[in-house]
Structure 1
């Protein structure tokens, strides 16, 4: 009897195409997730379906058309590459699958395939290094929703975060070493933003601002997204010998002013106004290049910087299919 282990990699998702209809479908599924927009059901439905999606879909479709390549969506392309390379490294005792939290390949469809394989054990590994309820939490919840309906439930392991895994840090450092930070006036570590209330909900006592999340990890804040983003940065900066005075932790892709601060676009603007000419930008929350890295940082922030007197925002590419990233995932799987 062969007792294989199933490994389920999960990334956020991408529209099936850059068409307005496919982007609308993607945004609708994404933004109607109560872990993403955590407001009462009726209000969320009205806000998302009557306001945000109808107005945002046509604009987002134009951006996705710029992002799309001959290989399709970069996020899906690299996620599939990671799945194939990890399968090769793990060998025949494991079978690696890939699902997207939103759109395709969907978690229910992929778990349907995995159910028929009758694995003795399943390891669920979202490709989000820092835990957030809107990403890792949502992916885990969807997996549990599907598996809870199975008659036979095998052993299931959920990986919540690995921002401080040495192999994860080493993989980003290896890419970062391609760029000499001494040639840049400032370094940004830009993470996807979250509403402040999302990190406040992590705590049983008090708010995020009541904890020293910028400087330490404790038992209280170990699942606080803000705290783990700052901790990731400290590890990367130490490994790359970037002094604290030369870098800024910031948060991008905000929807309103009640999101985590400082805002990345405002930091870029300020750097330009201070006379800086070259910025190096890491994006350690994104393991595959996507709209937020290629377009938002690589193009939109470049334009903001140039408008304020700067010359170049250099995006450090994401882990994508880097060999050390594959090795990191292999270590995490084997440890679980």
Structure 2
């Protein structure tokens, strides 16, 4: 039986909410050319000279709030560790070891993969925990893993999972999480995905074609199957179908933007609009995040709550992420076993 290692990769988290740790995390994250795709010098000047110095102190305060809610720990790290442990138990009898690393900061991919290299696995499965492919998340994690393995003297068999938005376990885990809430109690439902610059999805298409010219909001085809916008809408359709939702019941939107040239509609603007229209209760899903983190707990749960109240609303309820839900673990196990 082949000896296999599974490498789960999450985006990353500061080591602590201290400004110095947040600055280090943001610096590594935002200097990635797949995240901010500017020429080297322009990116360095923008990130190191403007964004990180001004953003780190403010972000540190928000991370402190997140850490306090997580009992002094990063929820992203804790949830991902639980997923790793559950998969270890399920796959132990199949001669499979499960590792976990962060694309940015710790546990670092370099350190974790050095542990893997020393054990001479026959097969390595690289599994970024991003359901919908994006160059800035899945692409960056895969690229980093391949660069590290390219330095190994002996190269094992390598399998890569680039996305899993249509995996039934992943979809079911979100549906099951929503059962804690009565959907009929809410005036409208949001499916809020992490935002991306429009040019990132445009690069998926050949020549001068643009994402906006493709039917990304309504179908998946051979041209847009790796388009983040298309798979976000497709994910939503799968969840909505299982929940019996009609199109008018929900809105797909995108959060965490840096400027106006990002995917629209913007989640915070949708929240504002719903408040102005007289909605009192909103239910928010965030399917791009398989583990609760700053963007779900704080951005949606707290910041959007303030926005909603400012515009006449009462309550925006966040549906927890998949985290370590058993159906999500089922889905990941299924993905891994298909690669064995």
1:29-40 counterparts in 2 under 5 A?
Answer: 29-40=28-39
Aligned residues: 335
Once residues 249 and 209 of structure 1 are traced to their aligned partners in structure 2, the CA distance between those partners, rounded to angstroms, is 15
Cα distance, 1:71 vs. partner?
Answer: 5.1
The one of 153, 157, 174 equivalent to 2:159 is: 157
203-212 vs 282-291, which moves further: 203-212
Once residues 332 and 62 of structure 2 are traced to their aligned partners in structure 1, the CA distance between those partners, rounded to angstroms, is 31
Cα distance, 1:168 vs. partner?
Answer: 1.3
1:21 and 2:24 are equivalent in the alignment: no
- Which 4+ stretches in 1 moved above 3 angstroms? none
1:134 and 2:132 are equivalent in the alignment: no
The equivalent of 1:278 in structure 2 is 281
The equivalent of 1:83 in structure 2 is 84
Once residues 113 and 162 of structure 1 are traced to their aligned partners in structure 2, the CA distance between those partners, rounded to angstroms, is 26
Once residues 242 and 300 of structure 1 are traced to their aligned partners in structure 2, the CA distance between those partners, rounded to angstroms, is 26
Once residues 238 and 149 of structure 1 are traced to their aligned partners in structure 2, the CA distance between those partners, rounded to angstroms, is 46
1:288-303 counterparts in 2 under 5 A?
Answer: 288-303=291-306
The one of 132, 144, 147 equivalent to 1:145 is: 147
Q: TM-score, normalised by structure 2?
A: 0.97
Deviations 1:173-199 (A, max 9, x none): 111122121110000000000000000
Other structure's SS at 1:91 match:
helix
Cα distance, 1:75 vs. partner?
Answer: 0.1
Cα distance, 1:70 vs. partner?
Answer: 2.4
Gapped regions of structure 1 (runs ≥ 5)? none
The equivalent of 1:326 in structure 2 is 329
Q: TM-score, normalised by structure 1?
A: 0.99
1:53-92 counterparts in 2 under 5 A?
Answer: 53-68=52-67, 69-70=70-71, 72-92=73-93
The one of 245, 250, 258 equivalent to 2:248 is: 245
The equivalent of 1:7 in structure 2 is 6
Deviations 1:85-142 (A, max 9, x none): 1101112411000000000011111110000111100000011000000000000000
